Structure 1
Amino acid sequence: MTSVPTPAPVSSRELSNPPRDGITNLRFSNHSDHLLVSSWDKTVRLYDASADVLRGEFMHGGPVLDCCFHDDSSGFSASEDNTVRRLVFDLGKEDILGRHDAPVRSVEYSYAAGQVISGSWDKTLKCWDPRGAGGLERTLVGTYPQPERVYSMSLVGNRLVVATAGRHVNIYDLRNMSQPEQHRESSLKYQTRCVRCYPNGTGYALSSIEGRVAMEFFDLSEAIQAKKYAFKCHRKSEAGRDIVYPVNAIAFHPIYGTFATGGCDGFINVWDGNNKKRLYQYSKYPTSIAALSFSRDGGLLAVASSYTFEEGDKPHEPDAIFVRNINDIEVKPKPKVLPNHPA
């Protein structure tokens, strides 16, 4: 992809009361500017990102590796203590929805299926009915073996994409979970770090620890598969050698379909995937970008600046959450300029 100069920074603010240890994920609500944040400090925090108010804090039995909203009154979390939990914001309480046999790495809520989906290092997916009551057996809908530990998941409509260790990618239709609709191997040579579905439902982006992103499509026809590609990012040359950084986070803009990537280099880039161009690069953050999330209207971008220990245990900047105001120039695809033809 072609690159552009780094522009001047725009309005950005740091949220008060950040987590006390590494941030694992953050997500905006689909209904408001509420922001849910999971952390290694064993908490899930609920913020009003616009007002910079901490609205709730939920303690878990171990580090929290992922979180997601159900609606503005409740959410779900995935913990290193093997549990999937339901968070009830107004009551300030949480309860255990279900368990895995190993740490739970990813959790998603499907509006299409009305189910919670959890992915674990026990090499399984589990689907839960959050309306179930009176025991775990009543909430568990099904257990689905995976080829390896689950690293990242993403949903769009009835489609679920699961990325595991060993570069496996399973694509499911939530209406028939008996077996994957497709099983693929990542086109990237190194460990998958993040997978995110395109908002229009046609495919997904996959990032790796080796400074690359792959753009993939669900349609297996030859014409559509010819459109897939991968590109290098989050790397620099220093003293004649290439320094490559993991790409930890991908977030799609909900209106324009462009996307942001965040890397261990502390930079966020915004890309126009259709035209294979970088639209924007924000000024460097204090440390690694651990997670990214656009608000429901694309007007805000939440950024987790949190060291991800890619260089081992060393002194690093404190964990912080920044919220940026987004301008169209940063995220809107530029129109193609057609060449002039003689009459």
Structure 2
Amino acid sequence: MAFYSSSSGVSTTMATEKDLANDIVINNPAEDSVSDIAFSPQQDFLFSVSSWDNKVRIWDVQGGVAQGRAQYDHQAPALCTRWSNDGAKVVSGGCDNSIQLFDVQTGQSSQLGTHAAPVRSLSFLQFGQANAEVLVTGSWDKTLKYWDTRQPQPISTLMMPERVYTLDSKQRLLVVGTAERHIAIIDLGNPTSIFKTTQSPLKWQTRVVACYNEGDGYAIGSIEGRCAIRYVDDEQQRKSGFSFKCHRQTGSNRAPGTQGQSLVYSVNSITFHPIYGTFVTAGGDGSFHFWDKNQRHRLRGFPSLQASIPVCNFNRQGTVLAYALSYDWGQGYMGNRPDYPNVIRLHPTTDDEIKGKKKR
């Protein structure tokens, strides 16, 4: 199933470089590739960045100028970062197998716990009768661990079908994407068991999963430039589930010297708008696109910025999209040239770009 270019059937959805002219650019946000970006749930312009130089940095943007607020270290590349709901703590995981906890007030970092292999993905959840905040971490050791950040031992450990590559949560839904294209669905009403395991409908390796704001389904992005729209309920999936191609260069938008070929890029990042429920994909082709899954069409596509985008994320109101132009390791260490761009850009969003349109 393909997305339509616009609700009228006429392609009016492509932006130009001029539409990116107001982006705030942070040059050299890290000394190596950016792996993750997460905004504070309490402030619009405060965010953390994990990177392959073993560091997590906290940036603050005031009056259009970015300032480094703090940084702390892992012993190996840092792969993921998130904020607690009160904005008081930043957590991160990395290739040193550790989960680090940073207190924003005191500026102190400490090790919360470890896995037996790199920690690839994490998220703060709220569940249980007291709606307590719990951290979930996913690792290449094929486990999920739940943590109370005041305790050094995990509350619970849950075996996964394979190495954890990505996870996301909304409402009572937690979705985990692993190696070998397994998708594990967990109902946070019963977080210590897997509710359902399914296979990604996409043929190649899963890069990212992202849950809908309603908590009734999730999107999957893969290395073959495809995105799948999925629902937990089987009946709803049959009615509303579909897949579509994206982050491919064909025809007039091909790179020079590649005429006659269709170039396929990885979908590296998917994130849902916190207010409108539309979503953005970003990929190895260096572009990002806003989509409306309910109307099945692209709201706005942006031109390639000639460097891969490994991650993007909205701030708490969805008024800013942060995205990194940085090496995504899609071609292994051979592709990581010293002159490869490494910047973070903050794109002020407009309703025209991200608000779903009613079908005419």
What band does the TM-score fall into relative to the shorter chain?
over 0.9
Matches within 5 A, 1:298-337: 298-312=318-332, 313-314=334-335, 315=337, 316-337=339-360
Distance in 2 between the 1:47 and 1:298 partners? Answer: 18
Amino acid at match of 2:248: R
Report the alpha carbon displacement of residue 197 of structure 1 after superposing the two structures with TM. Answer: 0.3
Q: Secondary structure at the residue paired with 2:180?
A: helix
Aligned to 1:204: 218
Matches within 5 A, 1:1-343: 1-3=3-5, 4=11, 5-8=13-16, 9-10=19-20, 11-33=22-44, 34-50=46-62, 51-70=65-84, 71-112=86-127, 113-132=132-151, 136-137=152-153, 140-220=154-234, 222-237=235-250, 238-312=258-332, 313-314=334-335, 315=337, 316-337=339-360
Report the alpha carbon displacement of residue 286 of structure 1 after superposing the two structures with TM. Answer: 3.8
Q: Secondary structure at the residue paired with 1:15?
A: strand
CA deviation profile, 1:207-242 (whole Å, cap 9, x unmatched)? 00000000001122x244321000000012242221
Structure 1 residues not aligned, in runs of 5+: 338-343
Report the alpha carbon displacement of residue 283 of structure 1 after superposing the two structures with TM. Answer: 3.0
Distance in 2 between the 1:157 and 1:174 partners? Answer: 8
Structure 2 residues not aligned, in runs of 5+: 6-10, 251-257
CA deviation profile, 1:184-213 (whole Å, cap 9, x unmatched)? 110111000000001121210000000000
Q: Is 2:287–2:309's contact at 8 Å kept on the other side of the alignment?
A: yes
Q: Is 2:28–2:342's contact at 8 Å kept on the other side of the alignment?
A: no
Q: Is 1:58–1:94's contact at 8 Å kept on the other side of the alignment?
A: yes
C-alpha change, 1:211 and 1:40, in structure 2 (3 Å) is same
Runs of 4+ in 1 over 6 A off after TM superposition: none
Distance in 2 between the 1:276 and 1:319 partners? Answer: 33
- How many matched pairs? 331
Q: Is 1:211–1:235's contact at 8 Å kept on the other side of the alignment?
A: yes
Aligned to 1:340: none
Q: What percent of counterpart residues are identical?
A: 39
Q: Is 1:117–1:128's contact at 8 Å kept on the other side of the alignment?
A: yes
- TM-score normalised over the length of structure 1: 0.93
RMSD: 1.5
Q: Is 1:68–1:107's contact at 8 Å kept on the other side of the alignment?
A: yes
Aligned to 1:341: none
Q: Secondary structure at the residue paired with 2:215?
A: coil
Report the alpha carbon displacement of residue 99 of structure 1 after superposing the two structures with TM. Answer: 0.8
Report the alpha carbon displacement of residue 157 of structure 1 after superposing the two structures with TM. Answer: 1.7
Distance in 1 between the 2:112 and 2:331 partners? Answer: 35
Q: Is 2:171–2:213's contact at 8 Å kept on the other side of the alignment?
A: no
- TM-score normalised over the length of structure 2: 0.88
Amino acid at match of 2:294: N
